[in-house]
Each structure stands twice: as structure tokens, then as C-alpha cells.
Amino acid sequence: MSPVWQQKKLIDFCKANGIVVTAFSPLGAKVTSWGTNHVMENEVLMEIAKARGKTVAQVCLRWIYEQGVTPVMKSYNKERLKENLQIFDWELSEDDSKKISEIKQHRMMLKEELISARGPYKSIEELWDGEL
């Protein structure tokens, strides 16, 4: 989950059923085979970060935190690890949140490996909730 793959329907379902959601790859995991540049290079996130004197990573992580979701981010860099924890003493404005809610969405992974003629999901459409 990230601001670029918000999965609102899933999050609403989990909230309604008392399920705590964990967001893997909240920064888009951009150098991995499953990752994407769409998060860290998103214009809306870059604008908000610039206006608030924060980084795009901090805006993403703060947004996830404000959704009541637990982010699981990764960095091998000590400074970026510290940066990623500095999200608890400020908040996004209503306008920031509105702009983030309007970001064009991209499904980060299709999970085609879960599709099988003999399995419970026989097509991508059956596997996903139709939100994207």
C-alpha cells in the first residue's frame, strides 16, 4: 500500500472488520523487481513535501500512519532510517490529504502467480476487487 496504490475498498473492509492493515513497500520499493518509481517520483507528493519542508518518503509514511495503517519500510541508509521515523510530530493538512486521495492509482503488482485453472482464482479479475 502507498499513496499511489491506496486500495481504499480493502482498507475500508479491514476497518469495518477490525483488521489492522500493514503496508509493505510503502515507498514503492523502487529498485526491486516488484517495485515502481511512481511513488517517489509522484508530482503531488513532491509538491506537498516541498511546501511542508518534508521529504516525499515522510509524506508517504505520514499519510499511511494517518490512515491507521502500519508502514513497513526499509532502508540500508542510517540517515534515511532516521528520516523515516520523523513523522510523528506534524500532520498533513486537509488539503494535502484531499490532493493525495486524488492521485492517479497504479496497481504495483498483479500477482499472476496466484492464478490457476485448478485454483480458487481462475483470472486476474477474480483475484482482485475490481477497484483499479
Ligand X SMILES: NC(=O)c1ccc[n+]([C@@H]2O[C@H](COP(=O)([O-])OP(=O)(O)OC[C@H]3O[C@@H](n4cnc5c(N)ncnc54)[C@H](OP(=O)(O)O)[C@@H]3O)[C@@H](O)[C@H]2O)c1
- Per CB under 6 A, residues contacting ligand X are 24-32, 55, 57, 72-77, 80, 83-84
CB-based burial label for 48 (10 Å; 0-12, 13-18, 19+): buried
Cell numbers found for residue 22: 500493514
Q: How far is the CB of 104 from ligand X (least distance, A)?
A: 18
Cell numbers found for residue 17: 472488520
Which amino acid, one-letter code, is at 27?
A: L
Q: How far is the CB of 46 from ligand X (least distance, A)?
A: 12
Q: Count Cβ atoms below 10 Å from residue 130 Cβ, excluding itself.
A: 7
Q: Which is nearer to ligand X, 77 or 94 (CB)?
A: 77
Q: Which is nearer to ligand X, 95 or 121 (CB)?
A: 121
Q: How far is the CB of 109 from ligand X (least distance, A)?
A: 9
Q: Which is nearer to ligand X, 28 or 95 (CB)?
A: 28
